[in-house]
Amino acid sequence: MGLDIRRPIGYLFVALGLLIAGYGLVSDKAIYQRSLGYNVNLSWGICLLIFGLVCLALAWRGAKAGTVPQSAHDARDSIPPRGPGH
């Protein structure tokens, strides 16, 4: 099981960022009067989108470099066995 955790987290944050930023773009400007006219949904949607894209880029770079182990057994196989008395 070679699933890198950055990939599903990246997809999750990209989807949430698109939803929140999209809502910020199409929502009524009157609801932002409580936040001094600052479009919080649009700005945080963009932040979530950027974070998700960074996670996906790091997952792609890690898979390309081969740093992601194929399974937990591969990681255990790289540990040398202990000698007698340990």
- pLDDT tier for residue 53 given thresholds of 50, 70 and 90: very high
Task: Write the secondary structure of 46-67 as one string of H (helix), E (strand) and C (coil).
Answer: HHHHHHHHHHHHHHHHHHHHCC
Q: Is residue 31 over pLDDT 80?
A: yes
Split at pLDDT 50, 70, 90, the class of 9 is: very high
Cα(51)–Cα(65) distance, integer angstroms? 21
Instruction: Say whether pLDDT at 47 is over 60.
Output: yes
pTM of the model: 0.69
